[in-house]
Amino acid sequence: MRAFLVILLLAVATFAAPAAAPSWEAVDAPAHARVAVSNSDKVEVAAGEGYIYVFSAKPVNVKVFTILGQLVSSSTLPAGHHRLRISTKGIYIVKIGTATHRVIL
């Protein structure tokens, strides 16, 4: 009985552990992605092949939300091209500074 409880506790702890938050990584340029451009901030947002891409000429605050409003990622990115791996297909809201973009994966 005691062994069963230990195994049950380990199983529950494994499934209840929070998933690692996705992190941004620097890339050369997005490949095969749909691009949305915000000319006012010189920011480009693209999505494709399970990634959200962001290009900015200056450091920017980026927040990614699910369509239901759940925060997926919040980060300050330096200037350049960056991508975020999203494992679940769907519609996401990308907020960069004051600009908001909708992307579909």
- Give residue limits of the domains in the chain: 21-104
pLDDT exceeds 80 at position 15: no
- Better-predicted residue by pLDDT, 21 or 59: 59
Note the pLDDT tens digit of each residue in 25-60.
Answer: 888 866 656 666 555 568 889 998 899 999 999 999
Please report the pLDDT score of residue 90 as a whole number.
Answer: 94
Picking from 92, 54, 93, the residue whose alpha carbon sits closest to that of residue 76 is 54
- Better-predicted residue by pLDDT, 85 or 1: 85
Residue 67: what are its φ and ψ, rounded to 5°? -65, -20
Residue for token pair 């999505």: 47
Residue for token pair 């996705």: 22
pLDDT exceeds 60 at position 1: yes
Please report the pLDDT score of residue 31 as a whole number.
Answer: 62
Coil, helix or strand at residue 9:
helix
- Better-predicted residue by pLDDT, 9 or 51: 51
- Average pLDDT of the chain is 81
Residues whose CB is less than 8 angstroms from the CB of residue 18 and which lie 6 or more positions away in sequence, other chains included:
none
Q: Report the Cα–Cα distance between both ends of the chain, in Å, rounded.
A: 47
Q: What fold, for 21-104?
A: Immunoglobulin-like (2.60.40)
pLDDT exceeds 50 at position 17: no
